[in-house]
Chains A and B, each alone.
Chain A
């Protein structure tokens, strides 16, 4: 590889945070499945990388009523966890179709969030699961809701000296439907054309909680909040589902690229949202 940089490999989180605060252009290296490609393509040009491989304290999935994911939890770890299978079916669906096996074995949850791609496949499921991101630096720790994490295309609230250390999911309502659908050219090793994740909960015949998140149809993965608001407190009739699906499409702002046209993507937001909402309501009644 032609890009040149230095690499430090801390043994503890405290050392890693110290290294992140050292100034200059420093980037954290987790699985490297995006970063190494960007370095090779000269899209980033840091002086120094901080390799996080040795930080065992950042790996692991803990069920504590909700779920806490260590930042270095890999996509494969998600697929092997009974806690994730029970609490976050949408995350399992996303992990199954995520890139190829070798990438799944190394790519991390925090890395997928931090790369800032509009097509980051773990992000829509995490958005509809109300995930929170823990950011740590030498000077302290703060927690940010994932839905407030992105500021614009590849821009986020993380300061250069901060590391994502954990992602936490609150306890999900008892009766809830939680799914992710990835539309791509094939089921593996393909970048998402349009992704839709939903969580729908119902109580006494009405929708008590609605979350809809969209991937690859805007500068950032986003919640379709106006569509969600149309659903909460109501019985999901076919007419209401169609209206909410059209609203979700209106909240997207896709572009034309090599994978699909903007018009096709917008249409697919509507189709997939309608399909998932219909399935949700049927499965809950």
Chain B
């Protein structure tokens, strides 16, 4: 089976090369390249811990083959912002204490960002539907939903830092 090749992935604006077989998932490739901010949870599309943006749309990287992501723009939670220049979603999660163990949060923020690109002024129901593919096993959903609502308001006021 001639099924290994070197691919170029654009991750958070930078090109990276990986030599991977056809069956390697994007999740495995990203973590192999050091992007451990992308978390591995259920590996079947239920939990959303592995969510990344591909061309601005959230997908489960555990259900995406790495080869299929060639030539597309991949964004992880680190690519949205970090440290001194946090994304409004990251700022709101931090301000409202919307993380307990934190494992689900990278996926939550990616899913929320993808949802807000389409729905900048979401209702509570729309936030819940947007995050229905992200599980928090600490069950800390209330603060997570509040933080997304807060970030949406900041972003509508032009507060996006990036």
Contact = CB atoms under 8 A, between A and B. Distances in A.
Contact of B58 (A3, A39, A40, A105): A105
Given A102-B48, A103-B133, A49 B118 contact: no
A6 B3 contact: yes
Contacts of A76: 57
A32 B63 contact: yes
A100 B133 contact: yes
Nearest to B51: A102
Interface stretch (B31-39, B64-72, B147-155): B64-72
Interface string B106-144: 000001001100100000000011111111000000000
B45 A100 contact: yes
Contact of A36 (B25, B114, B134): B25
Given A51-B65, A101-B111, A188 B45 contact: no
B5 to A, nearest CB: 10
A100 B46 CA distance: 7
Mostly, the B contact residues are: mixed
A189 B46 contact: yes
B45 A6 contact: no
A187 B25 contact: no
B10 interface: no
A32 B26 CA distance: 12
Contacts of B6: none
A7 B115 contact: no
A33 interface: yes
